[in-house]
């Protein structure tokens, strides 16, 4: 689309927002119900698009993209009236006689949602639902890499909502930059830290508030201690690394495993991969594929660089863009492969002495904050201490990924893994601005705040101020 066309879309949405049509809670609920019904109706079309873009099976498409959207919208439908209710506060004696203050949850206005390729349905519609719950209009810039999903979403939104309320713009980075040059009231971006910096810089030109959900510069760590249930850990890690072929912002980037149990853990992990996907994952139609040829080539080149240390996998089929889950062992904690986000099926294993686990955690803490952290251990006291003191987006103890499926809790990052939060009420908060309004009284107003401040009147006022402002 041209700059003029995009500018016209933003202007039309701003005019629509200013009519006040999006403000009533009943109206927002009606739109969310329409959105949910449309998602259910489009289920097969979305599954087909996800299969074309990412090689997703029907089960994985529903598990990871479609089902969570329905759950998310249901939570909004149940809670929106309560979330949007104005808060009532006692103003305090300093404000006498104006005793009532309210906080209203006001939508920002016209929002821009930039969604990624790896979960193109979930991370588009899920964020759009939060923006709608907040009472905003939405312009969507979806990924050009997931072309089939973008086409399905464009058709979906065009059929369900008028363009002055919700509309999708497709195109490449040039179109994204045109969008970022517009004056939006809120921007929500999901993707890489490098592009996140660009989004933030462009938003700063208009002082537009931004939410960023990023993968983390140095990737997400999984720590397996010597007292962990190794088979349980291996089974869960294998499932997660197979999911979307590792193209997940909260996926395990590397594993630190206690060297005392490294051998049996590696064997358990190999067995778990084979049990779940077979010995030749690249030939299994259930196994997802990498998004583009360049993504496949990047993964294959990195695997070749570590070819001598591959203990499982290391093969692929370029025609289908499927690369097997690949275990690389041993890897030093200072090697470059564990200092950037991989976003592919490669899994470096870093051995450490279990007695030195606190030193390991200090090294992890010195790096950029990850979006997720996973610990496997029977030492719950140590695990709780780590989770309370490390900085990361979210995580699990003796589990992987499903913290993001819990109702009522935020999904967020910090530092290089993002800013802001969403899911449920947190998404509503992200797309609304709290506005404080004091209800003044015209009766019994005292001259405490007014001049004169000198003489006996000033002394009296000073005594009263010290009583009220303790």
Angle at 346 between CA 340 and CA 350, to 5 degrees: 70
The answer to whether 233 touches 201, Cβ cutoff 8 Å, is no
The answer to whether 225 touches 193, Cβ cutoff 8 Å, is no
Question: Of 60, 72, 213, 282, which one is the catalytic site residue?
Answer: 213
Which residues share a beta bridge with 191? 214
- Start-end of H helices in 55-205: 58-61, 67-84, 122-133, 147-160, 173-181, 193-204
The answer to whether 237 touches 349, Cβ cutoff 8 Å, is no
Give me the sign of the Cα torsion angle 439, 445, 451, 457.
Answer: negative
Based on C-alpha coordinates, what's the Rg of the chain? 26
Instruction: Examine the residue annotation and report whether 396 is marked as an active-site residue of this protein.
Output: no
Question: Which class for 354: exposed (0-12), middle (13-18), buried (19 or more C-beta within 10 A)?
Answer: middle
Question: Which class for 30: exposed (0-12), middle (13-18), buried (19 or more C-beta within 10 A)?
Answer: exposed
Question: Of 249, 299, 344, 396, which one is the catalytic site residue?
Answer: 249
Structure tokens at 219: 């990737």
Q: Supply φ then ψ for residue 243, to 5 degrees.
A: -60, 120
Q: Supply φ then ψ for residue 423, to 5 degrees.
A: 95, 125
Instruction: Examine the residue annotation and report whether 95 is marked as an active-site residue of this protein.
Output: no
List C-alpha distances in Å: 373 to 219, 220, 273: 9, 6, 21
In Å, how far from its chain's centre is CA 156? Answer: 22
- Start-end of H helices in 95-252: 122-133, 147-160, 173-181, 193-204, 230-242
The answer to whether 269 touches 292, Cβ cutoff 8 Å, is no
Give the closest residue to 63 by CA, choosing from 219, 288, 376, 284: 288
Structure tokens at 456: 């006996």
The answer to whether 319 touches 300, Cβ cutoff 8 Å, is no
Compute the distance between CA of residue 265 and CA of residue 275 in angstroms, rounded to an integer: 15
Give me the sign of the Cα torsion angle 347, 352, 356, 359.
Answer: negative
Q: Which residues are catalytic?
A: 213, 249
């Amino acid at each position: 689309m041209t700059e003029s066309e995009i500018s016209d879309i933003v202007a039309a949405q701003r005019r629509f927002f200013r009519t006040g049509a999006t403000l009533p809670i009943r109206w927002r609920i009606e739109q969310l119900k329409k959105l949910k019904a449309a998602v259910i109706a489009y289920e097969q079309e979305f599954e087909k698009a996800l299969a074309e873009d990412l090689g997703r099976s029907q089960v994985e498409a529903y598990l990871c993209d479609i089902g969570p959207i329905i759950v998310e919208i249901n939570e909004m439908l149940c809670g929106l009236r309560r979330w949007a209710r104005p808060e009532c506060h006692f103003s305090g004696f300093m404000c006498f006689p104006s005793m009532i203050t309210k906080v209203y949850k006001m939508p920002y206005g016209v929002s821009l949602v930039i969604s990624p390729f790896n979960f193109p349905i979930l991370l588009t519609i899920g964020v759009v639902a939060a923006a709608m719950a907040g009472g905003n209009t939405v312009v969507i810039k979806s990924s050009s890499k997931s072309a089939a999903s973008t086409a399905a979403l464009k058709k979906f939104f065009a059929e369900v909502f008028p363009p002055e309320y919700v509309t999708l713009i497709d195109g490449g980075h040039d179109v994204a930059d045109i969008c970022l040059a517009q004056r939006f009231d809120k921007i929500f971006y999901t993707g890489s830290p490098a592009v996140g910096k660009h989004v933030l810089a462009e938003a700063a030109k208009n002082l537009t508030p931004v939410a960023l959900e990023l993968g983390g510069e140095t990737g997400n760590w999984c720590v397996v201690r010597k007292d962990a249930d190794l088979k349980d850990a291996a089974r869960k890690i294998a499932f997660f690394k197979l999911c979307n072929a590792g193209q997940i912002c909260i996926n395990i980037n590397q594993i630190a495993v206690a060297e005392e149990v490294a051998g049996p853990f590696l064997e358990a992990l190999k067995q778990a991969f084979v049990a779940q996907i077979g010995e030749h994952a690249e030939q299994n139609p259930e196994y997802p594929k990498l998004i583009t040829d360049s993504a496949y080539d990047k993964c294959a080149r990195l695997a070749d660089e570590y070819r001598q240390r591959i203990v499982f996998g290391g093969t692929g089929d370029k025609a289908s863009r499927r690369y097997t889950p690949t275990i690389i062992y041993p890897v030093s904690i200072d090697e470059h492969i564990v200092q950037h986000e991989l976003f592919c099926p490669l899994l470096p294993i870093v051995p450490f002495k279990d007695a030195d686990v606190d030193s390991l955690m200090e090294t992890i803490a010195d790096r950029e904050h990850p979006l997720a952290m996973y610990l496997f251990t029977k030492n719950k006291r140590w695990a709780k201490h780590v989770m309370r003191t490390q900085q990361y987006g979210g995580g699990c103890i003796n589990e992987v990924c499903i913290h993001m499926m819990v109702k009522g809790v935020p999904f967020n990052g910090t530092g290089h893994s993002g800013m802001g939060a969403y899911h449920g009420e947190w998404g509503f908060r992200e797309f609304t601005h709290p506005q404080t309004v004091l209800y003044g009284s015209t009766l019994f107003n005292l001259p405490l705040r007014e001049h004169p401040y000198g003489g006996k009147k000033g002394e009296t006022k000073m005594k009263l101020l010290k009583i009220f402002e303790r």
